Amino acid sequence: MEQRVPLPSATRYQSGLVETLVHNEAHSSGVSWAAVIGGAFVAAALSLTLLALGTGLGFSSVSPWSNVGASATTIGMAAVVWLILMQIISSSMGGYLAGRLRTKWTNIHTDEVYFRDTAHGFLAWAVALVITAAFLASSAASMVGDTVSSPARGAGTAAGVQLDGQEINPNAYFVDMLFRSDSAKPDSNGASVRGEAGRIFANALRQREIPPSDKSYLTQLVAASTGLTQPDADKRVSDVFGAAQQAADSARKVVAHSLLWAFLALLIGAFCASLGATIGGRQRDHVVVV
């Protein structure tokens, strides 16, 4: 009866001066991080490159003049399509490189090889996403810091929001309530009145309605500043607050739709990266050594 002798963990073959050592792959790492990081950096670099190209094309098609250039709807749809194309191109390339460059296993079942290739593509996509997000967040933080430290600090906006440390105080609205008088007496330049009205509107938008005391006070301010009668001033306050609510709701819908499209684009990117890694791994395994 034939007796099988177990093979050692490493078997040495000699052919002239060439020696090949086959190691037991059960003790090797299942992830080639060098290939994953390389594919991730390629995907992140392509994403930023395509983002710069898309931003340039978008700005070149927008014009401040009426009936000139693309409409806002067209720009929005083009941005969504470009975002999806960015994910397809960059993720496919990064995943392909991660699968093609990873270490080849010779003693593993074919299904396991496909799974590991797919996992390498997904890991490359995930690392690229983290790198891109970190870069964009750092750029945004730098831009915000430059804006705050600019010479225009403290100039304020039409809504009365200033950057001198006073308007950004979350308790500014309640501090204003402490010093309200029964008769509204706005100052000559109207800066403090506009700032206080902006804070009242911000608090009302958070509560989704204007408290009666705030509405009465705003009516007095508008009547004193514009010369309108009390009923007309009250109607203006109601109309403007309704318009502000509508604008806030429109902004909320735009942000929600943008996030949903971004989720779809990232999902497509993850699939393309995994598929690209599988294709790259198949081509790697079919390479004939001469």
Q: What are phi and psi of 42, to 5 degrees?
A: -65, -45
Of residues 131 and 63, more confidence is placed in 131
Whether the predicted pLDDT of 155 surpasses 80: no
Tokens linked to 127:
């690392």
pLDDT at 183: 62
Determine the Cα–Cα distance for residues 192 and 180; give it in Å rounded to an integer.
Answer: 12
Radius of gyration of the chain measured on its C-alpha atoms: 31
Higher-pLDDT residue of 191, 138: 138
Average pLDDT over residues 192-214: 84
Q: What are the C-alpha distances in Å from 290 to residues 13, 17, 99, 107, 200?
A: 18, 17, 22, 21, 78
Q: Is the pLDDT of residue 44 over 60?
A: yes
Residue 30 has pLDDT above 80, yes or no: no
Residue 128: which pLDDT band, with cuts at 50, 70 and 90?
Answer: very high
What is the pTM for the complete model shown? 0.68
Under a CB-based contact definition with an 8 Å cutoff, are residues 168 and 154 in contact?
no
Compute the mean pLDDT over every residue in the chain, rounded to the nearest whole number.
76
Residue ranges of the alpha helices (H) in the chain?
33-60, 72-101, 110-148, 172-178, 191-207, 212-226, 230-285
- Of these ranges, 16-20, 80-84, 145-149, 153-157, the one predicted with the greatest mean pLDDT is 80-84
* Distance (Å, whole) CA 234 – CA 224: 12
Report pLDDT for 289: 61
- Per residue in 18-28, pLDDT (tens digit) is 344 444 455 56
User: Is 166 a residue whose pLDDT tops 50?
Assistant: no
d(CA 194, CA 207): 20
Q: Which residue has the higher pLDDT, 220 or 88?
A: 88
pLDDT at 68 over 80: no
Mean pLDDT of 171-195: 63
Mean predicted confidence (pLDDT) in 132-137 = 89
